Structure 1
Amino acid sequence: MTENKEEPIVITITGPDGTEQDYVQDTVIPLAGKEFAVLVSIPESEDSTEEPDIILARIDTDEHGEPLYVPPTDEEYDAVAEIYEAM
């Protein structure tokens, strides 16, 4: 029997300084009719000992129905962070 595993969702985020970092979507948290992704940074090398960065992003959709990861409001961030910490 074959297991049906989903492919991880990898998102590339461009930081304020223009550098790009890849993140994998850890989980999606629904809140107030919206979905929020918990994104965990992917280390640049396999033997990296750095702690991963964790960011929260609201998942909106663009005009083509494609997911668009945008920063949440401060209120959304606080509410989602509280839910994630309780998981």
Structure 2
Amino acid sequence: MSDQLEIHVPIRLVLDGDDVGEVRAGAFASREEAERVLEHWRAAGHRSPMGVRILPVWGTAADWIAAGAVPASGDPAVAVAGAS
């Protein structure tokens, strides 16, 4: 396992007809803390899809590029095509 620093972002989708939005509750150092936010939202009656997005933290753009310039989110096919 690498020493890559990660943050954990609780996300709740907001569905309004054809529109989809996100509610983010900040960023947490551990997945456990981010999961507590999801538990709080559920206890408050929210039933929309929710989860925890894990994002790597890079010190510099050079670090990110050296790691293969893998996007934190987006189309996984782009990351795979770039790795070839």
Shorter chain as denominator, the TM-score bin is under 0.3
Q: Which has the larger radius of gyration?
A: 2
Using CA pairs below 8 Å that are at least 6 residues apart, which structure has the higher relative contact order? 2
Question: Which has a greater percent of helix?
Answer: 2
TM-score with structure 2 length normalisation?
0.25
Question: Which has a greater percent of strand?
Answer: 1
